[in-house]
Amino acid sequence: MPSPAPSSTKLAYAALATAGALWGTSFLLGKIALEEMGPAYLVLYRFVLASIVLVPFVPRARPQISRRDAGLLVLGALLMGPIMFLLQFEGLDRTTASSAALLVGTAPPMMAIGGFLVDNERPGRWIWIAIGLSAIGVGLLVGGPGEGRTLLGDGLVFISMIAAVVWTLLVRRIARRVGVVPATTILFGLGTLILLPCAIALEGPPPVDLSLGVWASVVALGVICTAFTFWLWNWGLQRAEAAQAGVFGNLEPLVGATLGVTLLGEQLGPLALIGGMLVVGAALLVSRGKPEAA
């Protein structure tokens, strides 16, 4: 993978950091919405809204999709809908927002290894140090078991992270050929079709009698935390290595845990501040480092 221009790299870092921070708010918004609706329809509504926002931009891109690309898009939608998102919100429904957010921090080390194995990336020494610091920071943030957390909930979120790493590496390949916006839009459209029968089977008729606060959370999840954020993430992912993107993705657990503690009154261990500083420090270290050529 050729080294991108410095200006393009800085923009990619900014896009990835913004995406990670916005994703962190999804745990708070999800907790609010789950008070009145089930995880399956929450994810389905999120996908529908994201598709509506992104569809008008697809004709401008005029994507050329081969049969192989179509198969990868279907596989990506299967990973994203019922596995990555649905399991994550099923887990969120059974654990705290801060715990679910912090478990997202398990993804960067897996993403770096995946980029090494799949795309033959060779992250530099400072990138690996940043990954290590980020992982230690997340470990300190998680701390011991707390009130409101369950092994099942945490386990479902962790499995969703494995799917997220596979999905990220897959989508990067698709987006390089099809384009960021078309690939993202098609994935959400296919994901909607896959999730609809799952939601009906799991939760029955769709909920419509929701409070204004819950509708606001659902709209924010669909438009800001999904359509806009996934576009930012996939755009940045074309201009940065998987290992680097993974560390910026660790801003998600930091923001999610902070919101869970400050706004939902959840409790974290005493080492949370140190862990958060390590996560932020790792992201800054990546932004200053230079990737080695493959």
The single-letter code of the amino acid at 106 is T
Kindly state the tokens that stand for 134.
């980020």
Residue 5's pLDDT band (cuts 50, 70, 90): low
Q: pLDDT value at position 293? A: 41
Q: Is residue 7 part of a domain?
A: no
Residue 55's pLDDT band (cuts 50, 70, 90): confident
Q: Is residue 224 part of a domain?
A: yes
CA dihedral of 22, 156, 85, 137, whole degrees rounded to 10: 20
pLDDT tens for 208-265 read 999 999 999 999 999 999 989 988 887 887 777 766 776 787 788 888 888 988 888 8
Mean pLDDT of 145-172: 81
Residue 287's pLDDT band (cuts 50, 70, 90): low
Whether the CB-CB separation of 103 and 250 falls below 8 Å is answered with no
Largest CA distance in the chain: 54
Q: Is residue 5 part of a domain?
A: no
Instruction: Report the candidate in 130, 170, 157 with the shortest Cα–Cα distance to residue 27.
Output: 157
Q: Is residue 256 part of a domain?
A: yes
- Domain span at residue 220 reads 16-288
Q: Is residue 2 part of a domain?
A: no
Q: Is residue 1 part of a domain?
A: no
Q: Is residue 238 part of a domain?
A: yes
Domains identified in the chain, total number: 1
Q: Is residue 8 part of a domain?
A: no
Instruction: Report the candidate in 92, 28, 24 with the shortest Cα–Cα distance to residue 276.
Output: 24
